[in-house]
Protein backbone atom coordinates (compact mmCIF):
# COMPACT_ATOMS: atom_id res chain seq x y z
CA UNK A 1 0.00 0.00 0.00
CA UNK A 2 1.30 3.42 -0.87
CA UNK A 3 0.17 6.90 -0.04
CA UNK A 4 0.70 10.24 -1.70
CA UNK A 5 0.07 13.57 0.01
CA UNK A 6 0.54 17.21 -0.84
CA UNK A 7 3.71 17.03 1.28
CA UNK A 8 4.98 13.45 0.82
CA UNK A 9 7.07 12.16 3.75
CA UNK A 10 10.32 10.40 3.03
CA UNK A 11 9.99 6.66 2.59
CA UNK A 12 11.81 4.63 5.27
CA UNK A 13 14.77 2.57 4.17
CA UNK A 14 13.84 -1.09 3.87
CA UNK A 15 16.33 -3.93 4.16
CA UNK A 16 15.86 -7.16 2.29
CA UNK A 17 14.08 -9.81 4.30
CA UNK A 18 11.22 -9.52 6.79
CA UNK A 19 9.90 -6.03 7.48
CA UNK A 20 11.71 -4.34 10.44
CA UNK A 21 14.35 -7.10 10.80
CA UNK A 22 17.86 -5.86 10.02
CA UNK A 23 20.12 -8.65 11.32
CA UNK A 24 18.20 -11.85 12.17
CA UNK A 25 20.49 -14.48 13.71
CA UNK A 26 19.62 -18.03 14.88
CA UNK A 27 19.81 -18.26 18.67
CA UNK A 28 22.51 -20.57 20.05
CA UNK A 29 23.03 -21.27 23.75
CA UNK A 30 26.84 -21.21 23.45
CA UNK A 31 27.26 -18.14 21.26
CA UNK A 32 24.54 -16.12 22.97
CA UNK A 33 24.90 -17.37 26.53
CA UNK A 34 25.19 -13.84 27.94
CA UNK A 35 22.67 -12.09 25.72
CA UNK A 36 19.67 -10.39 27.28
CA UNK A 37 16.45 -8.71 26.15
CA UNK A 38 15.59 -5.20 27.27
CA UNK A 39 12.01 -3.90 27.61
CA UNK A 40 10.58 -3.27 24.18
CA UNK A 41 9.85 -0.11 22.24
CA UNK A 42 7.83 0.05 19.03
CA UNK A 43 9.77 2.99 17.62
CA UNK A 44 10.98 0.66 14.85
CA UNK A 45 7.41 0.55 13.50
CA UNK A 46 6.77 4.30 13.59
CA UNK A 47 7.51 4.93 9.91
CA UNK A 48 5.21 2.49 8.16
CA UNK A 49 1.56 2.66 7.16
CA UNK A 50 1.02 -1.10 6.78
CA UNK A 51 1.80 -4.13 8.93
CA UNK A 52 1.52 -7.81 7.82
CA UNK A 53 -1.44 -9.71 9.25
CA UNK A 54 -2.44 -13.37 9.64
CA UNK A 55 -5.95 -14.76 9.45
CA UNK A 56 -6.13 -15.68 13.14
CA UNK A 57 -6.24 -12.00 14.07
CA UNK A 58 -8.72 -10.79 11.44
CA UNK A 59 -11.57 -10.68 13.97
CA UNK A 60 -9.71 -8.41 16.40
CA UNK A 61 -7.87 -6.37 13.78
CA UNK A 62 -11.09 -5.59 11.88
CA UNK A 63 -12.33 -3.66 14.90
CA UNK A 64 -9.44 -1.20 14.65
CA UNK A 65 -7.92 -1.10 11.14
CA UNK A 66 -8.79 -1.68 7.48
CA UNK A 67 -7.61 -5.15 6.43
CA UNK A 68 -6.32 -4.99 2.84
CA UNK A 69 -4.45 -7.21 0.39
CA UNK A 70 -1.23 -6.29 -1.40
CA UNK A 71 1.27 -7.73 -3.84
CA UNK A 72 1.07 -10.58 -6.33
CA UNK A 73 0.42 -13.06 -3.51
CA UNK A 74 -2.41 -10.96 -2.06
CA UNK A 75 -0.74 -10.78 1.33
CA UNK A 76 -3.07 -9.30 3.97
CA UNK A 77 -1.98 -6.20 5.85
CA UNK A 78 -3.58 -3.86 8.34
CA UNK A 79 -3.47 -0.18 7.39
CA UNK A 80 -2.11 1.88 10.28
CA UNK A 81 -1.71 5.19 8.46
CA UNK A 82 -2.59 7.20 5.39
CA UNK A 83 0.86 8.65 4.78
CA UNK A 84 4.15 6.86 5.42
CA UNK A 85 3.85 6.98 9.18
CA UNK A 86 2.14 4.86 11.80
CA UNK A 87 -0.72 6.67 13.50
CA UNK A 88 -0.72 4.23 16.41
CA UNK A 89 2.87 4.59 17.63
CA UNK A 90 3.77 7.56 19.84
CA UNK A 91 7.10 7.78 21.68
CA UNK A 92 7.66 4.08 21.04
CA UNK A 93 4.35 3.03 22.59
CA UNK A 94 1.28 1.54 20.95
CA UNK A 95 -2.00 3.41 21.26
CA UNK A 96 -4.07 2.50 24.31
CA UNK A 97 -7.18 0.37 23.79
CA UNK A 98 -6.06 -0.54 20.26
CA UNK A 99 -5.19 -4.02 19.05
CA UNK A 100 -1.44 -4.56 18.51
CA UNK A 101 -0.79 -6.81 15.47
CA UNK A 102 0.89 -10.15 16.13
CA UNK A 103 3.70 -9.29 13.73
CA UNK A 104 4.78 -6.52 16.11
CA UNK A 105 4.35 -8.58 19.26
CA UNK A 106 6.64 -11.23 17.79
CA UNK A 107 9.55 -8.81 17.32
CA UNK A 108 12.55 -9.10 17.78
CA UNK A 109 12.07 -12.88 17.52
CA UNK A 110 11.38 -14.68 14.25
CA UNK A 111 11.58 -18.17 12.77
CA UNK A 112 14.23 -18.93 10.15
CA UNK A 113 13.91 -21.98 7.90
CA UNK A 114 16.80 -24.35 8.61
CA UNK A 115 16.43 -26.89 5.79
CA UNK A 116 14.37 -27.88 2.76
CA UNK A 117 12.06 -30.02 4.92
CA UNK A 118 10.38 -27.01 6.48
CA UNK A 119 12.13 -27.08 9.85
CA UNK A 120 12.71 -23.78 11.62
CA UNK A 121 15.14 -22.24 14.06
CA UNK A 122 14.32 -19.48 16.52
CA UNK A 123 16.18 -16.30 15.67
CA UNK A 124 16.15 -12.69 16.80
CA UNK A 125 17.13 -9.37 15.32
CA UNK A 126 20.61 -8.77 16.67
CA UNK A 127 20.39 -5.14 15.52
CA UNK A 128 17.33 -4.45 17.65
CA UNK A 129 17.71 -1.88 20.41
CA UNK A 130 16.06 -4.41 22.71
CA UNK A 131 18.94 -6.85 22.36
CA UNK A 132 21.72 -6.56 24.92
CA UNK A 133 24.63 -8.60 23.55
CA UNK A 134 26.09 -9.27 26.99
CA UNK A 135 27.56 -5.82 27.54
CA UNK A 136 25.74 -5.39 30.87
CA UNK A 137 23.18 -7.01 33.18
CA UNK A 138 20.34 -4.95 31.73
CA UNK A 139 17.33 -6.98 30.59
CA UNK A 140 16.14 -10.56 30.98
CA UNK A 141 18.60 -13.37 30.16
CA UNK A 142 17.93 -15.59 27.16
CA UNK A 143 19.88 -18.51 28.60
CA UNK A 144 20.78 -19.63 32.11
CA UNK A 145 23.29 -22.45 32.66
CA UNK A 146 23.12 -23.26 28.96
CA UNK A 147 19.34 -23.68 28.95
CA UNK A 148 16.72 -21.47 27.35
CA UNK A 149 14.75 -19.33 29.78
CA UNK A 150 10.97 -18.99 29.91
CA UNK A 151 11.35 -15.87 27.77
CA UNK A 152 12.83 -17.91 24.92
CA UNK A 153 10.35 -20.76 25.41
CA UNK A 154 7.44 -18.33 25.10
CA UNK A 155 9.01 -16.74 22.02
CA UNK A 156 9.40 -20.18 20.47
CA UNK A 157 5.72 -20.97 21.00
CA UNK A 158 4.58 -17.57 19.71
CA UNK A 159 6.70 -17.84 16.58
CA UNK A 160 5.51 -21.40 15.97
CA UNK A 161 1.88 -20.29 16.21
CA UNK A 162 2.55 -17.29 13.97
CA UNK A 163 4.34 -19.41 11.34
CA UNK A 164 1.50 -21.94 11.29
CA UNK A 165 -1.06 -19.15 10.84
CA UNK A 166 1.12 -17.56 8.18
CA UNK A 167 0.96 -20.76 6.11
CA UNK A 168 -2.82 -20.89 6.58
CA UNK A 169 -2.99 -17.24 5.53
CA UNK A 170 -1.12 -18.01 2.32
CA UNK A 171 -3.71 -20.69 1.53
CA UNK A 172 -6.54 -18.23 2.11
CA UNK A 173 -4.92 -15.61 -0.12
CA UNK A 174 -4.33 -18.20 -2.84
CA UNK A 175 -8.02 -19.13 -2.68
CA UNK A 176 -9.06 -15.49 -3.13
CA UNK A 177 -6.83 -15.26 -6.19
CA UNK A 178 -8.06 -18.58 -7.58
CA UNK A 179 -11.67 -17.29 -7.45
CA UNK A 180 -10.63 -13.92 -8.92
CA UNK A 181 -12.28 -12.07 -6.03
CA UNK A 182 -9.81 -9.23 -5.56
CA UNK A 183 -10.01 -5.83 -7.24
CA UNK A 184 -7.63 -2.90 -6.98
CA UNK A 185 -8.90 0.15 -5.17
CA UNK A 186 -7.70 3.60 -4.12
CA UNK A 187 -9.16 6.29 -1.92
CA UNK A 188 -8.94 10.09 -1.93
CA UNK A 189 -9.42 11.85 1.39
CA UNK A 190 -9.43 15.42 2.61
CA UNK A 191 -8.30 16.13 6.16
CA UNK A 192 -9.95 18.70 8.39
CA UNK A 193 -7.16 21.17 7.58
CA UNK A 194 -7.87 20.84 3.86
CA UNK A 195 -4.87 18.65 3.08
CA UNK A 196 -5.64 16.09 0.39
CA UNK A 197 -4.27 12.53 0.39
CA UNK A 198 -4.53 9.60 -1.99
CA UNK A 199 -4.00 6.04 -0.81
CA UNK A 200 -3.44 3.40 -3.48
CA UNK A 201 -1.76 0.11 -4.27
CA UNK A 202 -4.14 -2.18 -2.36
CA UNK A 203 -6.82 -4.73 -3.22
CA UNK A 204 -10.15 -5.62 -1.64
CA UNK A 205 -12.72 -8.35 -2.16
CA UNK A 206 -15.27 -7.51 -4.86
CA UNK A 207 -18.65 -7.81 -3.14
CA UNK A 208 -20.52 -8.72 -6.33
CA UNK A 209 -18.09 -11.48 -7.27
CA UNK A 210 -18.15 -12.75 -3.69
CA UNK A 211 -21.96 -13.00 -3.81
CA UNK A 212 -21.75 -15.11 -6.97
CA UNK A 213 -19.40 -17.78 -5.61
CA UNK A 214 -20.53 -21.32 -6.55
CA UNK A 215 -22.44 -23.19 -3.85
CA UNK A 216 -19.73 -25.81 -3.40
CA UNK A 217 -17.11 -23.09 -2.77
CA UNK A 218 -19.42 -21.32 -0.32
CA UNK A 219 -19.96 -24.54 1.62
CA UNK A 220 -16.26 -25.37 1.68
CA UNK A 221 -15.33 -21.86 2.79
CA UNK A 222 -18.01 -21.90 5.47
CA UNK A 223 -16.61 -25.12 6.91
CA UNK A 224 -13.00 -23.93 7.02
CA UNK A 225 -13.85 -20.43 8.29
CA UNK A 226 -12.91 -18.48 5.17
CA UNK A 227 -16.36 -16.94 4.72
CA UNK A 228 -16.01 -15.30 8.12
CA UNK A 229 -12.57 -13.97 7.14
CA UNK A 230 -14.01 -12.28 4.06
CA UNK A 231 -16.75 -10.70 6.17
CA UNK A 232 -14.17 -9.44 8.70
CA UNK A 233 -12.21 -7.91 5.82
CA UNK A 234 -15.27 -6.22 4.31
CA UNK A 235 -16.42 -4.91 7.68
CA UNK A 236 -12.95 -3.54 8.40
CA UNK A 237 -13.05 -1.19 5.41
CA UNK A 238 -15.26 1.16 7.38
CA UNK A 239 -12.23 1.81 9.60
CA UNK A 240 -10.79 4.06 6.91
CA UNK A 241 -12.98 6.79 8.41
CA UNK A 242 -11.24 6.31 11.75
CA UNK A 243 -7.84 6.60 10.05
CA UNK A 244 -8.88 9.88 8.43
CA UNK A 245 -10.05 11.22 11.79
CA UNK A 246 -6.84 10.12 13.48
CA UNK A 247 -4.71 11.65 10.71
CA UNK A 248 -6.65 14.94 10.98
CA UNK A 249 -6.15 15.04 14.75
CA UNK A 250 -2.43 14.39 14.34
CA UNK A 251 -2.11 17.13 11.71
CA UNK A 252 -3.97 19.56 13.96
CA UNK A 253 -1.70 18.74 16.91
CA UNK A 254 1.39 19.26 14.75
Going from the C-alpha of 4 to that of each of 7, 89, 191, 199, 239, the distances in angstroms are: 8, 20, 13, 6, 19
What was the pLDDT predicted at 189? 87
What was the pLDDT predicted at 250? 85
Name the stretches of the chain with pLDDT < 70. 1-17, 116
3-state helix, strand, coil in the chain (%, to 5): 35, 25, 40
Contact (CB, 8 A) for 41 and 130: yes
What was the pLDDT predicted at 192? 85
What was the pLDDT predicted at 1? 63
What was the pLDDT predicted at 4? 34
Nearest CA-CA partner of 175 in 110, 238, 223: 223
Amino acid sequence: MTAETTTPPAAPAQASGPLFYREPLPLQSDKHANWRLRPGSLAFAAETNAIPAVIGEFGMAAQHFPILFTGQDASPIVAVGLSRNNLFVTDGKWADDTYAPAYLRRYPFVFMQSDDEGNFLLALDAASEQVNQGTSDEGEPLFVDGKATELVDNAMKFCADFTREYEQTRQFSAALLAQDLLVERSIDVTLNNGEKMSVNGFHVVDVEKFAKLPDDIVLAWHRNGWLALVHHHLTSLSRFNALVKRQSEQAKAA
